Chain A
């Protein structure tokens, strides 16, 4: 039987992972405890990642614009189905 790769995790592993990630994001965001150079590096890193994400999203939206049916208004209006089931 094929099971997903994380199937051996115990029931709280996801919970743990979700919490870790959140804490990590918070400290990356610059808490009062970290030194100012750490915090600067962290901010730069975050800004860089933010830009990468924005570029990826721009490229996705461009691809989707290419894929979208021409004359959307007409297309959507003409899409009429009979009730099924």
Chain B
């Protein structure tokens, strides 16, 4: 049996300052992160000692320089929140990493909590700018000028699963899943062939099949081997190919189906060989075919469409779960996956209430026909960008959602709760509760550790290398019995 699911996402946002001729992304990001205030705020370091982004899953270390900021810079760029998330500056982008969760519904709640956090920081930070200027934040992945920023999904998998199995069996899935989770883009970039509209924001940027890089020569399968957990037992598969979704249904399917397919791969339950010839080219061709009608060469010789590839995975999953009792969320993901594939085959435009790229395409087509403009009109390019604007009154997705034009998976109350409360069922509970209860004594945090400064003593670091320990069920009564951080550290180190 595969491991119980532990997932999380890291999302980089686009940022600009309106009416600022000297816009500097890094100082704007630092301003943004520091402007975020919440009542339990404490100055906490991000613990870079625990990180090694240069380890490769194929079994070697790559040479390079590891980034370690000084203490002041560290605090200025990092906030660990009481819901267990990390809100920080990554290069020239604001980024939000969700806490670890065990299911895709919680993942959506924490991703959207990230949108709320960004928006609330944006309002505070903008009030500090000169009159007429304001920060604007976009949940997208491209500036349409050849620069891309990422959305990374993380899945905990067993180290026993051979990495080459992941590469060969997961690649055809990743290349084709964009048909239900692309965020849509007007035009092409990064030397891809010209088009008016394409399914994915990111497809133009993928240049190789397997590699460690995420910033140049981006690979379909990323080999970063940094489990943030017991490395004897686990890998953290770092999936970098996805678009950031505004639509909850797109996120639900993107992450939900990926977790299901990984479970099948880990359990040796995928027998068919779906290998596509030249996946780096195919990912762009699929993206450039919004009718979803083309087919692509397989290594086996025949040809197959993106929808058919997804159907093969779906059918394997349905067979797999026939003899098992899937939990209600998995069951629901399978149901939706099937329904969406059927409707994509029939006419993709039916999915305008569910799938980002379809919603955006429909909006642009309706706009063009009413305002008599074409794909290269600046208004159309503005629609493309502004679909992802986080402001409630300006963001076009937000307008669609408010008018009831988009299907939802969770409620606004679920999002409100996720902004302030960690998930119950992973170590994020322990992290978030420590920050809420003992914030001033927390010295540093990483995904798999938390350290306390108790005054005179050396810093005490508590390791958390099991993502499913430190849950509410495990530690709530212990925390209740420890009014201070000293009590907690004493009871854990005895």
Q: State the A residues within 8 Å of B (CB).
A: 1-4, 6-11, 13-15, 17-18, 22, 57-58, 60-61, 63-65, 67-69, 72-73, 75-76, 78-85
Contact = CB atoms under 8 A, between A and B. Distances in A.
Contact of B410 (A2, A69, A76): A2
Interface stretch (B66-74, B89-97, B304-312): B89-97
Given A3-B105, A61-B366, A68-B379, A82 B92 contact: yes
A80 B145 contact: yes
A15 B328 CA distance: 18
B192 interface: no
6 contacts: A7-B331, A11-B335, A61-B370, A64-B399, A79-B143, A84-B215
Contact of A3 (B150, B332, B378): B332
Given A4-B409, A67-B386, A82 B147 contact: yes
Contacts of A64: 363, 367, 383, 396, 399
B339 interface: yes
B383 A9 contact: no
A72 B143 contact: no
A69 B152 contact: no
B145 A84 contact: no
B109 to A, nearest CB: 8
B20 to A, nearest CB: 10
Contacts of B393: 67
A82 B13 CA distance: 11
Contacts of A9: 332, 335
Contact of A60 (B90, B394, B405): B405
B319 to A, nearest CB: 12
A18 B343 contact: yes
B34 interface: no
A53 to B, nearest CB: 11
Q: Which of A4, A11, A69 has the most CB of B within 10 A?
A: A4
Interface in B349-403: 363, 366-367, 370-371, 378-379, 381-383, 385-386, 393-394, 396, 399-400, 403
Interface in B244-271: none
B93 A8 contact: no
B225 interface: no
A65 to B, nearest CB: 8
B378 A82 contact: no
Contact of B370 (A3, A17, A58): A58
Contact of A67 (B14, B91, B342, B396): B396
A13 B334 CA distance: 11
Nearest to A10: B335
Interface in B317-359: 318, 327-329, 331-332, 334-336, 338-339, 342-343, 346
B474 to A, nearest CB: 18
A63 B152 CA distance: 33
B92 A85 contact: no
A67 B385 CA distance: 12
A3 to B, nearest CB: 5
B149 interface: yes
A3 B329 contact: yes
B484 interface: no
Interface string B141-182: 011110111101000000000000000000000000000000
B152 A85 contact: yes
Contacts of A68: 379, 382-383, 386
B110 to A, nearest CB: 13
Contacts of A67: 386, 393-394, 396, 399
Nearest to A63: B399
Given A64-B396, A67-B399, A85 B383 contact: no
